[in-house]
Amino acid sequence: MANKVVISTNIAQALTEAVGEVKHDRLFLLMDETTHQLCLPVVKDIPCLSEAIHIIIGATDTHKTLDTLAKVWTELGNGGGTRHSLMVNLGGGMVTDLGGFAASTFKRGIKYINIPTTLLSMVDASVGGKTGINFNGLKNEIGVFNAPETVILDAEFLKTLDHENILSGYAEMLKHGLISNNEHFAELLNFDLNSIDYQHLAQMVGTSVAVKERIVEEDPLEHGIRKALNLGHTAGHAFESWALSRKPYLHGYAVAWGLICELYFSCIKTGFPTDKMRQTVRFIKEHYGILPVTCDDYEELYGYMTHDKKNTAGIINFTLLGNIGDIRINQTANKEEIFEMLDFFRES
């Protein structure tokens, strides 16, 4: 499952090398409407892309669908794609997830390269070979594990992001900090998100990606320790699904709120230090605000948690921590405990 991750300071050189390493007959460049407008200008004059056939899809998670996937397959076919073609995915996690899935299934699989353009996709979606689409109202319900040939991380693209998208990606970095070590986590809590040093941020992205890579290499198909990466996500995905029909939030906001819930469980179930939990909750509330759930929403949130892919035989499964870097997978909670967790979330 390992793919090559390049932390680039020269996108032209990095992309030329990555494309040159894969023998191909046709080159396709997949973008969404946003990255076509904001990110294509960064790469459009690179000679290796001069022959590329552009495929443009709708932006945001609402287009991460079977219809969009079919459109990409159709355009690959119409553009003369064969089993020896190569696709470059230029975009956030939605583009790299859907593009990776399209590449993995077209002609039973063509090779692909990811250039993640959002902070979230750099630290989360671009590494680990998970691809997929949303289906039947559930996130990432259909997909395969299939790693890209190369992932290129370049700080240039971070400058195209608004503050909310920086924060969304930063939540996954906080999660990586919590599952790695005190030093990296302290660096994350002390970083000034209100006046961003992009070079420093790119270095932290490198550290964050290395945390994820280490875990994915140990457990490529998520049978054990890879579940560490689910910290914050059991509650977070429920918040995200709940918000979809009301006021959608970016994925990272939902994860940040999920971290509040799951650090609370970590305190009461696995002995996580209360002071570190409170420090993290303060940081999250200061930057992400709070999700306006009420007691009336608990049943619905609980329902979403029962659908989580990580569950076994209907038992809701959490990844918790005994301390920073001390990962406790396969922790469970019953309905009453989950309602108490949601009380804590609302009162914190």
DSSP notation for 26-40: -EEEEEEHHHHHHTH
Please confirm, yes or no, whether 54 is among the known catalytic residues. no
Report the predicted TM-score, pTM, of the whole model to 2 decimal places: 0.84
Please confirm, yes or no, whether 230 is among the known catalytic residues. yes
Q: What is the mean pLDDT of residues 37-53?
A: 95
Residue with tokens 């892309």: 49
Q: Are residues 181 and 121 in the same domain?
A: no
Q: Are residues 156 and 233 in the same domain?
A: no
Q: How many Å apart are CA 29 and CA 173, to the nearest integer?
A: 28
- Residue 2's pLDDT is 54
Residue of 23, 108, 223, 247 marked catalytic: 108
- Residue 58's pLDDT is 97
Q: Are residues 138 and 154 in the same domain?
A: yes
Q: Are residues 110 and 181 in the same domain?
A: no
Residue of 222, 287, 307, 346 marked catalytic: 222
Structure tokens at 114: 């990811």
- Residue 218's pLDDT is 87
Structure tokens at 224: 């054990």
Q: What is the mean pLDDT of residues 121-150?
A: 88
Q: What is the mean pLDDT of residues 281-309?
A: 93
Residue of 176, 212, 269, 276 marked catalytic: 212
Residue of 230, 262, 276, 328 marked catalytic: 230
Q: Are residues 112 and 173 in the same domain?
A: no
Domain boundary among 141, 160, 179: 160
Q: How many Å apart are CA 174 and CA 192, to the nearest integer?
A: 14
Residue of 64, 130, 176, 328 marked catalytic: 130
Q: How many Å apart are CA 345 and CA 348, to the nearest integer?
A: 5
142 touches 115 (CB < 8 A)? no
Does residue 346 have a pLDDT over 60? yes
Residue of 251, 269, 276, 328 marked catalytic: 251
Q: Are residues 145 and 55 in the same domain?
A: yes
Beta pairing partners, 87: 28, 112
150 touches 161 (CB < 8 A)? no
Share of the chain above pLDDT 90, in %: 79
Residue of 233, 269, 276, 328 marked catalytic: 233
Give the tens place of pLDDT for each residue, 145-180: 999 999 999 988 999 899 999 999 999 999 999 999
Q: Are residues 148 and 271 in the same domain?
A: no
Please confirm, yes or no, whether 130 is among the known catalytic residues. yes
Domain boundary among 107, 135, 160: 160
Residue of 176, 227, 237, 276 marked catalytic: 237
Q: How many Å apart are CA 121 and CA 130, to the nearest integer?
A: 12
Structure tokens at 54: 């552009």
For residue 313, the tally of other CB atoms under 10 A from its CB is 4
67 pLDDT band, cuts 50/70/90, is very high
Give the tens place of pLDDT for each residue, 191-214: 999 999 988 998 899 899 999 988
> Whats the size of the chain, residue-wise?
348
If one counts the domains in the chain, the total is 2
Q: Are residues 178 and 312 in the same domain?
A: yes
220 pLDDT band, cuts 50/70/90, is confident
Q: How many Å apart are CA 253 and CA 255, to the nearest integer?
A: 5
CATH of the domain at 98: 3.40.50.1970
Please confirm, yes or no, whether 24 is among the known catalytic residues. no
Q: How many Å apart are CA 115 and CA 107, to the nearest integer?
A: 22
Q: Are residues 205 and 321 in the same domain?
A: yes
Q: Are residues 137 and 185 in the same domain?
A: no
Residue of 75, 172, 240, 262 marked catalytic: 172
Please confirm, yes or no, whether 237 is among the known catalytic residues. yes
Please confirm, yes or no, whether 222 is among the known catalytic residues. yes
Q: What is the mean pLDDT of residues 254-266?
A: 98
Q: Are residues 124 and 173 in the same domain?
A: no
Average pLDDT, the chain: 93
Report the candidate in 279, 186, 177, 183 with the shortest Cα–Cα distance to residue 232. Answer: 177
Q: Are residues 291 and 271 in the same domain?
A: yes
Full domain range(s) for residue 10: 4-160
140 pLDDT band, cuts 50/70/90, is confident
Please confirm, yes or no, whether 251 is among the known catalytic residues. yes
Please confirm, yes or no, whether 172 is among the known catalytic residues. yes
Give the tens place of pLDDT for each residue, 76-126: 999 999 999 999 999 998 999 999 999 999 999 999 999 999 999 899 876
Domain boundary among 126, 160, 194: 160
- Residue 115's pLDDT is 96
CATH of the domain at 204: 1.20.1090.10
Does residue 275 have a pLDDT over 60? yes
